[in-house]
Amino acid sequence: MTPPVTPAVTPAALARLHAAVFVRPRPWSAAEFAALLAAPSTILASAPEGFALGRVAAGEAELLTLAVAARARRQGLGRRLLAACEAAAASRGARRLVLEVAADNLAARALYAAAGYGEAGRRRGYYVARAGLAAADAIVLAKSLEAPGAAPAADPESC
């Protein structure tokens, strides 16, 4: 099911907020957001001051981006958007959520650590030097979305 795009959550509005928040990685265009929103695998959690965008495939979810306007930071919005994205992914059968974060993005890393994400890998020099910033590693983080003690779901690849 394609996420609803309300007047406040248009590809152009998402692109404006993304551009206001991100220098690295480069901000995404309205066309890129439109293509993602049109995909049935996309999940979107949004609020007037932020959004979390991901996708679900084969029992796994990927958080593609999470953006919170500067004036709304440190108020729990990022945590709520992340939790909403996790719930949407789990409702679509995802058993795990993965994401990448720049090694030098300490605020985001603290958010993900507090939410229970653990390091699953590292991509050296993944984020290229840009706008006066040095290149940075991407840290791959992952979190199980399965309830503790729940029986693991059958692996569709093994059927």
pTM listed for this prediction: 0.84
The answer to whether the beta carbons of residues 68 and 48 sit under 8 Å apart is: no
Angle between helices 11-21 and 30-38 in degrees, nearest 10: 120
Q: Which residues contact 11 (CB under 8 A, 6 or more apart)?
A: 5, 30, 31, 33, 34, 37
Nearest-angstrom CA–CA distance, 155 and 136: 35
Q: Is 68 exposed, middle or buried (0-12, 13-18, 19+ CB in 10 A)?
A: buried
Q: Is 24 helix (H, G, I), strand (E, B) or coil?
A: coil
Can you tell me which residue has the tokens 């991100």? 22
DSSP state of 66: E
Domains and CATH numbers, the chain: 11-145 (3.40.630.30)
- Mean pLDDT, residues 27-52 taken together: 93
Q: Token pair for residue 147?
A: 């309830």
Question: pLDDT tens for residues 102-159?
Answer: 998 899 999 999 999 999 999 998 887 666 777 889 999 999 998 765 444 443 333 2
Tell me: pLDDT of 67 over 70. Answer: yes
Angle between helices 77-91 and 106-114 in degrees, nearest 10: 50
